[in-house]
Amino acid sequence: MAEQFIPLRQSAIEVRCADARKDGAACCGHAGGALGLCVLDAQGRLLNCNPRFAEIYGLSPEQVTPGRAVTELLPDNKPLSSCSANPDARSGRPLGVGGGQSFAQLTQTRDGRVVCVVTQPMPDGSWIAVHDDITARWQEEQERERTRAFFDTVIDNIPTCLFVEDAQEFRLLLVNKAATAFLGIPAEAALGKNAYDLLSKEEADHVTAHDREILQSGNSVVLGEHWIHGSRGARLMSGKKLVIPGADGAPQYVLTLAEDITERRRAEEQIAHMAHHDPLTDMPNRAAFNQRLAFEIERSKEANKSFALLSVDLDRFKEVNDVFGHGVGDEVLRQFSRRVSALAENVFLARLGGDEFMLIAAEGPQPSAAAAVSDGLLSVVERDFEVEGSRIRLGLSVGVAIFPNDGTDATTLLGNADAALYRAKVEGRGLIRFFEPDMDKRLRERRALQQELRHAIERRQFTVFYQPQARIDGEIVGFEALARWQHPVRGDIPPGVFIPVAEESGLMMPLGEWILRESCREAASWTRPLQIAVNLSPVQFQHGDLPALVHTILLETGLPAGRLELEITEGVLIDDFNRAISILRRLKALGVRIAMDDFGTGYSSLAYLQAFPFDKIKIDQTFISNLGHNPQATAIVRAVIGLGRGLKLPVAAEGVETADQLAFLADETCDEVQGFFIGRPKPIQHYSGLTGKPLAAPDPADAAQAR
């Protein structure tokens, strides 16, 4: 027969629980009737319990009968922690029974509730255990722990250094990871230290002074940028300090937020540098130059001083890019910039783009100081530039404008320096030219002419005149096409004026294409199959696909390729020899004839005859005009004709204006002639009888142009 269950009195529970707590075993308090109580024998079998015990674990009265083992009653309980030093208790023995010591243990029931069990040994060998359901408190504590861990994680991962000091001795109480990384020591080593333990005396004085300042003012203090030595050396720091009061309102903590802005400041400085410097040469760029020029103008006005503005351009730099490639060209620019920077220490040098440089020479009397700087610039390019095993020689042209004589504002000074540079390049390159008043007038006229030339091309204000070409016996064999521009205001503008303007302004491509197409269209309409000769500009060899254009025009107009003769000058070959020869070969493959014009006026005419199979050479008219007056000219003409005969290459003489000149050329067996004596350039209607087209009534305007 089972033992009868006898409920224990509440007073006994309270006494036993109080005794357990007094022994230091308890980890929780009791709450009167909220506590469960059970008495166990030495083997951990239930002797007695109160109703709360059964309620806590969800046991029925039938289950909590005396003699039942606790492990049988609570098989799913899991120990969470133990407050006892008893090894048996730490090993998770059921409800901590055994070992003869008081201890407390947290267990978790199968439904997830947490119970604090305080176990107290009794003199008779039994045990009394107090059970407190602390689930709500446990959950609150866990939530607090999670919140604390969350905030610890946030604080630790803030990229800004965080320091918390006590407000009395300024010793560190809290540091985050950014702070320990800056200091180069673990948090344990930093805690309890003050600034003098971690920094130099000078830096510690600075930090401590701010701490005292904030305590006195009670307000937050923004820390200015300052250098502090950390684990990575000197670092630029910026931040804020504020006081955290205690419960009594008095200052208790000093919080410092310090940000390492070293890299950011370096990046900002790099961005600012890039905004005002050329990335290729690291020289000041256009923006920096404009600022410096404005500054020099204002300073010179106030001091009543003068300074020089130098516009510099590298001669033949385009050839370097075309022949050696842009990588070599970039290295040449870098070497040039270094040379000039080393030479001209007292000038401001900027690269505006490409091979265009500007200098401001503000020291010394002008214009002598500018002349000295210019001479130094010329000396810079006397030595070849060596890049990737190639030796490259360049020239230099300089235009100079002086403040205030040549302008008192930036726009005027820049324009006049450019005008002087333009004059230096026109007069032969490799020169220094100071601005003169008429330069500005000529430059403005030239720019106006460029604009008018653009409109003239768009409005088709150009016409083509034709000059006869004849064999030495007088038989007309063809015509040379010559462009004419009849300006509505300026009148007749010679090709020697508008062709250079077109070449410099980028208008030669559309103009040259129109002349070629119009000439071929006209020649294709002739009854007689005469030759048509068209001059090509070096610009047409540098841009676009010239052979493809010629082929297209021949197809469009129906002109046989053998009737078209393209005349080139030595300048075509000088600019880019390999490219020019390749283009000429493609043109000859179309069946087009190639003639070298102005033969004898260049430096390498004979070498070019060897490099390419020309169909004709034309003696420049300057030699023909001196026949009978200049023995050297006569000898040159005779030699060129003999050269052509030896090479079996037809020779044509330009500029034949007299019967004596024609007779001389006939005696020397020159093949062809061209000039006023044979026929002047005129509209094609004037030569209808030669071309086989009906004679048209002469146009008075054309007649005036022909004259």
pLDDT tens profile 616-649: 999 988 889 888 888 888 998 999 999 999 889 9
Residue 93 is predicted with a pLDDT of 44
Q: Are 68 and 46 in contact (CB under 8 A)?
A: yes
Q: What is the mean pLDDT of residues 532-538?
A: 92
**Residue 9 predicted with pLDDT over 80:** no
Phi/psi of residue 161, each to 5°? -65, 130
Task: Specify which of 99-108, 126-135, 171-180 reaches the highest per-range mean pLDDT.
Answer: 126-135
Biggest alpha carbon–alpha carbon distance for the chain: 163
Residue, of 427 and 536, whose pLDDT is higher: 536
Listed in sequence order, the residues at least 6 apart from 239 whose beta carbon sits closer than 8 Å to its beta carbon are 160, 161, 222, 223, 256, 257, 258, 259
Q: Using alpha carbons only, how large is the chain's radius of gyration in Å?
A: 51
The reply to whether 1 falls in a domain is no
**Both 428 and 467 in a single domain?**
no
Same domain, 387 and 473: no
CATH number at residue 308: 3.30.70.270
Q: Are residues 120 and 220 in the same domain?
A: no
Residue 701 lies in a domain: no
Closest CA to 599 of 591, 586, 590, 608: 608
Strand partners, 481: 466, 534
Average pLDDT over residues 253-276: 79
- Find the mean pLDDT for residues 202-231: 78
User: Does 148 map to a domain?
Assistant: no
So what's the pLDDT on residue 687?
A: 93
Q: Which amino acid is at 671?
A: D
Domain end (from 417, 435, 453): 435
CA angle 335, 336, 337 (to 5 degrees): 90
Long-range contacts of 653-656 (CB under 8 A, 24+ apart): 653/618, 653/619, 653/624, 654/597, 654/618, 654/619, 654/620, 654/621, 654/624, 655/620, 655/621, 655/622, 655/624, 655/625, 656/624
CB atoms within 10 A of CB 53: 24
pLDDT at 392: 86
Residues 257 and 286 reside in one and the same domain:
no
Residue 702 in domain? no
Cβ 540 vs Cβ 509: under 8 Å: yes
Rounded Cα gap, residues 592 and 2, in angstroms: 131
Q: Is residue 291 domain-shared with residue 247, that is, in the same domain?
A: no
In this structure, the number of other CB atoms found within 10 A of the CB of residue 326 comes to 10
Select from 420, 435, 450 the last residue of a domain. Answer: 435
Is residue 282 located within the same domain as residue 201?
no
Are residues 231 and 284 both part of a single domain?
A: no
Which CATH number does the domain housing residue 41 bear?
Answer: 3.30.450.20
pLDDT digits (tens, 9 = 90+) for 459-497: 788 899 999 999 999 999 999 999 998 887 778 888 888
Predicted confidence at residue 704, as pLDDT, reads 45
From the list 514, 568, 498, the residue with the least C-alpha distance to 536 is 568
- Asked if residues 135 and 113 have their Cβ atoms less than 8 Å apart, the reply is yes
**What domain range is 596 assigned to?**
461-681
Is 389 among the domain residues?
yes
What band does 14 get if pLDDT is binned at 50, 70 and 90? very low
User: Which ranges in 235-283 belong to alpha helices (H)?
Assistant: 262-275
For the chain, give the mean pLDDT. 82
Mean pLDDT of 172-186: 84
Number of alpha carbons in the 13 Å side-chain half-sphere of residue 509: 9
- The pLDDT tens digits of the residues spanning 501-529 come to 888 777 888 899 999 999 999 999 999 99
One domain, residues 311 and 395: yes
Q: Cβ-count burial of 643 within 10 angstroms (0-12 exposed, 13-18 middle, 19+ buried)?
A: middle
CATH code: domain of residue 633? 3.20.20.450
Ranked by mean pLDDT, the top range of 145-154, 191-200, 545-554 is 545-554
Q: Is the pLDDT of residue 1 over 70?
A: no
- Give the model's pLDDT for residue 443: 65
Per-residue pLDDT reduced to its tens digit, 658-701 = 999 999 999 999 999 999 999 999 999 999 889 986 554 444 44
- Please indicate, yes or no, if residue 456 is contained in any of the structural domains: no
Q: Does residue 548 form part of some domain? A: yes
Give, as one character, the DSSP assignment of residue 34.
G
Q: Tell me: pLDDT of 87 over 80.
A: no
Residues 249 and 360 in one domain: no
Number of domains in the chain: 4
Q: What is the mean pLDDT of residues 73-97?
A: 57
Task: Examine the domain organization and report whether 225 and 296 are in the same domain.
Answer: no
* pTM (two decimals): 0.47
Residues 532 and 484 placed together within one structural domain of the fold: yes
Look at residue 330 and tell me whether its pLDDT is greater than 50: yes
Q: Which runs of consecutive H residues, i.e. helices, occur in 58-113?
A: 70-73, 87-90
Would you place residue 104 in the very low, low, confident or very high pLDDT band (cuts 50, 70, 90)? confident
**Does residue 6 have a pLDDT over 50?**
no
The 10s digit of each residue's pLDDT in 439-466 is 656 666 777 777 888 888 887 888 999 9
User: 480 is written with which tokens?
Assistant: 């040379």
**pLDDT value of position 231:** 62
Residue 453 lies in a domain: no
Query: Rounded to an integer, what distance in angstroms lies between the CA atom of residue 139 and that of residue 51?
Result: 25
Last residue of a domain, one of 232, 265, 298: 265
Residues 633, 623 contacting (CB under 8 angstroms): yes
Token readout for 649 is: 């290459």
Which pairs count as long-range contacts for 639-647, CB under 8 Å and 24+ apart, including other chains?
640/599, 640/600, 641/665, 641/668, 641/669, 641/670, 643/606, 643/609, 643/617, 644/617, 644/671, 645/669, 647/609
**More confident position, 385 or 602:** 385
| Mean pLDDT in residue range 556-583 | 87
Query: Which has more confidence, 650 or 76?
Result: 650
Whether residue 164 sits in one domain with residue 122? no
The mean-pLDDT minimum among 66-70, 317-321, 655-659 falls in 317-321
